Amino acid sequence: MHYWTRLATCGAVVAGMLGFASGSWAQEVKSPTMDAIKKRGELICGVDTGIPGFAFQDSAGKWAGLDIAYCRALATAVLGSADKVKFIGTTSKVRFSVLQSGEIDVLIRDSTLTLTRNTELGLAHGANNFFTGEAFMVKKSLNVAHAKELNGATICVLTGTTLELNIADYGRANNIKINTLLFERPEEAFAAAEAGRCDGYTDDGGSVAAARSSMKKPDDWVILPELISREFLGSYTRQGDERWNILVRWTHMAMLEAEVLGITQKNVDEIKKTATNPEVRGFLGLEENFGKKLGVDNDWAYRIVKEVGNYGENYDKYFGPLQLPRGWNELYTKGGLQYPLPWR
Amino acid sequence: MVRRPSRRAYIGQWVLLAGVVAFGWLLADMVAGNYARKNLHFGFGFLADQAHFDLPFHLISWNLFDTYGRVLLVCLLNTVLVAAMAIVTATVLGLLVGVMRLSVNWLVRNIALAFIEFVRNTPQLVQLIFWYVGVLQTLPSPRQSITLPGGVLLNIRGLFVPDAVMREGSGLLSWLALAVLIATPFVWRVKIGSSRVGAKALFLLLLALVLFAAGVDHVEYPVLQGFNLAGGTQVPPELVALWIGLSIYATAFIAEIVRGSIEAIPKGQHEAAQALGLKGLQRLFLVVLPQALRIMVPQLTSQYLNIIKSTTLGAAVGYSELMQIFAGTVMQQAAKEAETMAIVMAIFVGINLATSALMNWYNRRVALVER
């Protein structure tokens, strides 16, 4: 090729990249994320790589779990179908980068919001679908009854989590030394605990119950009563798209509100036909236009309950088999912390 | 138009350089813009912050109040340790298997062949997990430790070796022992008159041992205490799994390099050595291998670089190396993603360039001197 032709080609490539880069910057729409989802016809949801209760795949490869239900509810709200979701399993290490880079629309992955993540990682709080704390699971044969007796023990932990800091802080506060062994994925940590490489496993309360259920003999393991931290799990979005964040928040509120109003997947059609209560009618989109204000159809909440169910139904479905009582995740009316904002 | 081709080429190169610089600047600007838009700050100041988490394996002292900078140092040492162990082991085993591959004995030759083909054709990560989960995690619990000679205990938590507890103020003796140890190979080469010191230098090793032993107060044996064994030095199974995994995998490739290089030496060299009356091993070590080395070194270099890079697979078996801890825990806790990844990449480039430089120097040394 002639020199000048080659140069011109180079120049064209650089100019093209310039144009592409500036073009993708220029847009300023109300909710770019929601627009992108509609255009794509699919919600891309970042979930756990596999933990019973929150997000796991059955033998046919179909995803299920509380976090999965939230992804499906969001897809229902935006696209009208709970099946228009692509699930992306993310490890604890890369989850926030994947969200930040725009690879996923929303992160619903049993992740805790902390001050550092809120500020330094640009994580925007959507909703909390699970209140818990860090718990320990140890072999029954060790005869340990309390976390404070773990001095000198080795505990398997997932890397890149708040757990690593909690466990060190707890040891410091109680003047004991708990050794940790770090793993990237739960499967490897479970295997190491099972084999006896560690004396126990630590994770958020819900996940520890899940870990116990996946041990060869769950009865050989005991979950210690102490929760050594507060973990605030839920759905998160990137900062900079307020409207999308608002929809994520109210999708959670819709699932809670349905439970408060006693609307379930089973009776929602019946109630829609006969409802006279203004709160119920407003919720189901028969009156008012809450959906429109959020940028979705007016019967979005009805569809969520119809396709996914209310919060309590999903909790029982996924955590019932793990024998994890609702505790903090009970509705506020029953002494729990789950409190839907006013549907006004 | 510029007519002279040389001048045209000159201008063309400058224009291209300007284009590359402009593109680089554009990328940097885009990253900076994205950071600003997301309210994130780019910087390395976090290295001075306290880490507040525990590291499972460290060669130098570590406590919760040390900084992220020290985490980096701990992880770097861990990475270098396992890389060095694997390089040495893979080289020795590779040489052995490579020579076995050329053996006249049918069984030996085919055992080597089967080993190479099996190891070369299975994924490295799978092998690592096999060593860790399939082999090391089947060892007994601390209470049922296997007792080895010399007070060494082996169980699922690792290999526990007795520790020498040094007397106070014996530091000087230990340093002296180390200095004598390092001096040994140099003394070996020293010429007195017309002959080398040679094997007499081995006496220095004995001296080093005596110097070291003089400083030992008592030996601490590992014993069962609470959940784990206390006392002694623990070699964690994570390190062993990664070491074996990396070594075995690289052995297969190095063996093929050794075989290829030996076969590249003309048959006449073997015959000439035979004619001189050299025995089998003498032929190999005195005539064939020194020549084969020249062909081997450049290929060995890339194998060594591969081993160094593959240490990052240690993250899968819970070994505290750069990828798992620095580009994992630190990245998350300090919320500095671009910075930690940049540091890890820079470090690997650094280690690998240093290794290449060393190997190139060695290559020049063994290369045929042409006059």
B153 to chain A nearest CA, in Å?
A: 15
Q: Give me the residues of A, 152-171, that contact B with CB < 8 A.
A: 152-154, 159-161, 164-165, 167-169, 171
pLDDT tens, position by position, A17-62: 544 444 444 333 389 999 999 999 999 999 998 888 999 998 888 9
ipTM, 2 dp? 0.75
Residues B259 and B120 sit within 8 Å (Cβ to Cβ): no
B227 neighbourhood in chain A, CB within 8 Å: 142, 152-154, 199
Closest-CA residue of B relative to A124 is B38
- Is A199 an interface residue toward B (CB < 8 Å)? yes
Residue the block writes with tokens 């085993």:
B93
Instruction: Count CA atoms within 13 Å of residue A310 on its CB side.
Output: 20
* DSSP for B280-309, written as a single string: HHHIIIIIIHHHHHHHHHHHHHHHHHHHHH
Q: What is the dihedral of CA B56, B62, B65, B67, to 10 degrees?
A: -90
Contact B316 A100 (CB under 8 A): no
Of B38, B320, B329, Cβ closest to residue A240: B38
A328 to chain B nearest CA, in Å?
A: 26
Contact A168 B64 (CB under 8 A): yes
pLDDT tens, position by position, B274-333: 999 998 888 888 999 989 998 999 999 999 999 999 999 998 898 999 998 998 889 888
Report the percentage of chain B scoring pLDDT > 70.
98
A317 to chain B nearest CA, in Å?
A: 32
* pTM of this structure: 0.79
pLDDT in the model for residue B213: 84
Contact A182 B56 (CB under 8 A): yes
Of A10, A154, A178, Cβ closest to residue B16: A10
Interhelix angle B171-189/B202-215, rounded to 10 degrees, is 180
Q: What's the rounded Cα separation, in Å, for the pair A109 and A233?
A: 8
pLDDT tens, position by position, B3-35: 788 888 888 899 999 999 999 999 988 888 887
Q: Please report which residue ranges of chain A form alpha helices under DSSP H.
A: 3-26, 32-40, 66-79, 95-100, 115-120, 162-174, 186-195, 205-213, 242-261, 268-274, 278-283, 290-294, 300-307, 311-319
Of B22, B226, B327, Cβ closest to residue A152: B226
B167 to chain A nearest CA, in Å?
A: 27
Closest-CA residue of B relative to A239 is B38
Closest-CA residue of A relative to B39 is A122
A122 neighbourhood in chain B, CB within 8 Å: 38-40
pLDDT in the model for residue A79: 95
pLDDT tens, position by position, A60-89: 889 999 999 999 999 999 999 999 999 999
A15 neighbourhood in chain B, CB within 8 Å: none
**pLDDT at residue A4 greater than cutoff 80:** no
Residue the block writes with tokens 């929760």:
A227
Token pair, residue B132, equals: 């860790």
* Best residue of A95, A120, A149 to probe chain B, by most B CBs closer than 10 Å: A120
A21 neighbourhood in chain B, CB within 8 Å: 26, 30
A326 to chain B nearest CA, in Å?
A: 29
Token pair, residue A30, equals: 């109300």
- Confidence label for B218 from pLDDT (cuts 50, 70 and 90): confident
Q: CA angle at residue A109 from A105 to A115, to 5 degrees?
A: 90
Contact A122 B156 (CB under 8 A): no
What value does the mean pLDDT take over residues A221-236? Answer: 92
Contact B15 A7 (CB under 8 A): yes
Cβ burial, residue B279 (10 Å; 0-12/13-18/19+): exposed
Closest-CA residue of A relative to B316 is A184
pLDDT in the model for residue A305: 96
Tally of residues, chain A: 344
Q: Provide the mean pLDDT of chain A.
A: 88
B138 neighbourhood in chain A, CB within 8 Å: 195
Of B54, B225, B227, Cβ closest to residue A180: B54
Tally of residues, chain B: 371
pLDDT tens, position by position, B152-191: 888 888 888 888 888 877 778 888 888 888 888 888 878 8
pLDDT tens, position by position, A146-189: 999 999 899 999 887 888 889 999 999 999 989 999 988 888 88
pLDDT in the model for residue A29: 38
pLDDT in the model for residue B30: 87
